[in-house]
């Protein structure tokens, strides 16, 4: 059976992922955190989907009361837990398109750089709407194909097994989010070394 989710790739690269991200995107992640940090508070419960090896988890978790870091890759989550010592973090293996949580339990859902690599990202948005509290916040930064694109590096990544299911431009990505039941409250476009990053802050319509 074909691995439509590309999970085998993420399991295989988990040990290398931290080094790859810190070398290629450290500046971008720091800027991203500057945008996200003011949206968080010590009263909030935060669900982070597709946390990878904790690039944002490490920098942001202490800003919230509780932080649930999740990924569908057991090995990615293992690497996250191994390198972090924040006391307010819970680590759980979760599929963003089929979450085990009850309705209306989180103040904030953060899903960074993941929707574009999901075969069915609309299912993840349905689940996010379900688990968010009324008036809860969705923070959804995603790589988009605006501006500079490092095509050579992308080519090598794809040859190694990395899959991008949705090559959105920022306007297309915004339309996708709005078409799936969210209203965009804030938006930013950041330039990374590989791709631009469209940062959306949303509430359910």
* CA separation for the pair 165, 161 (Å, rounded): 12
Backbone Cα Rg of the chain = 16
What are the C-alpha distances in Å from 100 to residues 68, 88, 90, 92, 103?
13, 20, 14, 10, 10
- CB-based contacts of 26, cutoff 8 Å, min separation 6: none
Percent of the chain, pLDDT > 90? 69
Q: Can you tell me the mean pLDDT for 51-80?
A: 94
Q: Is the pTM of this model over 0.85?
A: yes
CB atoms within 10 A of CB 9: 17
Question: Looking at residue 22, what is its pLDDT?
Answer: 63
Q: Looking only at Cα atoms, what is the longest distance across the chain?
A: 44
Give the domains, in start order, of the chain with CATH numbers.
7-36+45-204 (3.40.50.150)
pLDDT at position 18 is 64
* pLDDT given at position 151: 80
pLDDT category at 29 given cuts 50, 70, 90 is confident
Is the pLDDT reported for residue 2 higher than 60?
Answer: no
Average pLDDT of the chain?
90
Specify the pLDDT at position 8. Answer: 77
99 in Cβ contact with 131 (< 8 Å): yes
Q: What is the mean pLDDT of residues 178-184?
A: 98
Residues 83-116: pLDDT tens digits?
A: 898 889 999 999 999 999 999 999 999 999 999 9
Instruction: Give me the pLDDT at residue 113, please.
Output: 93
């Amino acid at each position: 059976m074909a691995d439509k989710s590309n999970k085998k790739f993420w399991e295989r690269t988990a040990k290398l992922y931290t080094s790859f991200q810190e070398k290629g995107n450290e500046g971008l992640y720091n800027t991203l955190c500057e945008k996200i940090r003011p949206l968080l508070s010590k009263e909030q419960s935060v669900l982070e989907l597709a946390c990878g090896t904790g690039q944002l988890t490490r920098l942001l978790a202490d800003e919230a009361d509780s932080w649930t870091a999740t990924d569908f890759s057991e090995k990615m989550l293992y690497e996250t837990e191994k390198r972090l010592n924040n006391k307010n973090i819970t680590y759980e293996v979760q599929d963003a398109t089929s979450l085990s949580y009850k309705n209306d339990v989180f103040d904030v859902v953060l899903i960074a750089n993941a929707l574009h690599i999901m075969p069915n990202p609309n299912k993840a948005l349905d689940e996010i709407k379900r688990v968010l509290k009324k008036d809860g916040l969705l923070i959804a930064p995603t790589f988009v194909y605006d501006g500079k694109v490092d095509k050579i590096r992308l080519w090598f990544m794809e040859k190694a097994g990395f899959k991008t299911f949705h090559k959105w431009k920022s306007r297309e990505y915004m339309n996708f989010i709005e078409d799936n039941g969210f209203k965009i409250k804030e938006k930013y476009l950041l330039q990374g070394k590989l791709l631009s990053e469209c940062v959306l802050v949303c509430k359910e319509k």
